[in-house]
Each structure stands twice: as structure tokens, then as C-alpha cells.
Amino acid sequence: MIISQVYILSKPVEIRNLKKINIKGGTVIDGFPSSGLANAIASECFIHSLKTELVAVLDSSEFPALSVIHNTLPNFPARIYANENLKLAIFVSEMNVEQSLYYSISKVILQWAIENECRLIISAAGVSNEGTDDIIKLPDPAVCAAATTKRSIKRLEDVGIEHMSDGSVTGIPALLLNEGVLLDLDIIVLLVKVVKDIPDFRAAAIVSEAITRLIPGASCDISSLLKEAEVVEKNLKRIRIHQTNPDVHIYG
């Protein structure tokens, strides 16, 4: 087992590689949870829709003491899956990441991508869909993106995704963008409206569809995400009705 370490402010985040892979020239997807969990849900969708294998885990004394059980087997709460045929790697995590670890995690993602000679990192960030009417109607969120290089901007233009000229991005995606500019590394952060504080499956479907345009051959069961979105929308509408009229029975 090969182990690489990055030490940031005496807080190590360790990548424990389980298998050597060749994804030279490929793409890395950042699936660490952000607002609305759109990127985390989309990453899980790709992992289950594509033929991927677990190739590494992330570990740190700063991570919560958590084991995630999948198909009866315990798993580290942060992992890397890969599909060598598609030259694709996906970072995924179920844990709530403390803000103090954003810097360390972004550095690890960058380091791993560079060590594996990947050409592109894709992340996603949710923009809160503020306002009661927006939450109830849940309009299909349009996607746009921030990018670090002329190469990545052209890649967006080639697949019909608008790139942001002004604005701001926060969290791990923001740190990836900042470092990407300094390193001249192609990084794209997809931006999509999300419903605040709940898993937004519709936004995840939009992110997934955008990623399939950016990565030829990548596929995701987007229809299942949209079905989940319909359930969430109905529940939100019921809750809203109950809030405005407590005498109305919203179940059954």
C-alpha cells in the first residue's frame, strides 16, 4: 500500500492508495458535500451508474469517527473511486466537513490529480434558492460555471455551458479555483440553484447532466434523481400548506 501525506497547519490528511491506476489525461470529480448536496448526490450517482472501483481512501485524525456501511462492508467516510476506461476519478464523502479542513482537502484533491497527471477537475457549488415562492415552485435550476483557464472556458463553450464573468464561490470549490489559477490547471466549478438545507436531487440531476456533457462516455441515472426531486417537492408543498393552514391534514 502506497501512502502519501499532506500536512497543513499540523493537521494531516492522508491518502491511502489501495490500487495503482492509470488515468493520465483524465478528469477528477470533487464530490465533497456543498450547499444542497448537489455535487455529493451527483458523484454518488456516477459511482453507481458507471463501473467504478474503490482505489483509495482519505483519512485524518480531524475526521469524525465514522464508518459507512455499504453492502455489509465498512468504509472510510471519504474515498476515491475510478473508472480507468473513462480516465475518471471521483472523490466522495458522506461526512459533514468542518470548514477548518477545507484547505487541507482541497490541497489533497489537487495533489492527487497532479500526481495522476489528470487534465481537469470538476466541482460544483450550490447557490441558495431564497424566497418562499422559489422553494415551493422549485424551477429547473439553470447551470453556469466558473473556470480557471482559457482551455477550460473553451471546454464549457463547446458543450453550451455559460461561464460566470462576475460573482463569488465559497468552500472547497473556491479553493480549487484559486489554486487552479496559480497552477495553470483546468478546473471547472458548476454553479446551480439549490433549496437551502435539504438534499436537492433536482439540482443534482442538473449537475450530473452538465458533467455528462463535459466527460464523453460518462453516464448517470438522472431519471432516478428527478423522481427523488418530485418526492422532495411534494413534501415541501405539503409542509408549506400545513404552515399556512394548520387545520389541513397533509398526510395520507
For position 199, what pLDDT does the model report? 76
Residue 228 domain boundaries: 2-244
How far is 128 from 141, CA to CA, in rounded Å?
A: 11
Question: Would you say residue 251 lies in a domain?
Answer: no
Question: Would you say residue 249 lies in a domain?
Answer: no
Residue 98 identity:
E
CB atoms inside a 10 Å sphere around CB 92: 26
Which is it for the CA torsion 127, 132, 135, 139, positive or negative?
Answer: negative
Contact 4, 15 (CB under 8 A): yes
For position 156, what pLDDT does the model report? 96
For position 127, what pLDDT does the model report? 82
Calculate ∠ Cα 221-226-228, nearest 5°.
100
Question: Which parts of the chain have pLDDT scores under 50?
Answer: 1-10, 131-140, 239-240, 242-243, 246, 248-252
Question: Would you say residue 113 lies in a domain?
Answer: yes
Question: Would you say residue 250 lies in a domain?
Answer: no
Instruction: Give the residue among 199, 233, 235, 232 at the shortest CA–CA distance from 36.
Output: 199
38: CATH? 3.40.50.10900
Question: Would you say residue 211 lies in a domain?
Answer: yes
For position 198, what pLDDT does the model report? 73
How many structural domains are present in the chain?
1
Q: Which H or E run includes 201?
A: helix 201-214
Calculate ∠ Cα 132-173-233, nearest 5°.
25
Residue with cell 487534465: 119
Question: Would you say residue 70 lies in a domain?
Answer: yes
Which is it for the CA torsion 183, 5, 106, 190, positive or negative?
Answer: positive
Question: Would you say residue 49 lies in a domain?
Answer: yes
For position 209, what pLDDT does the model report? 93
CB atoms inside a 10 Å sphere around CB 65: 6
For position 25, what pLDDT does the model report? 97
pTM: 0.83
Question: Would you say residue 252 lies in a domain?
Answer: no
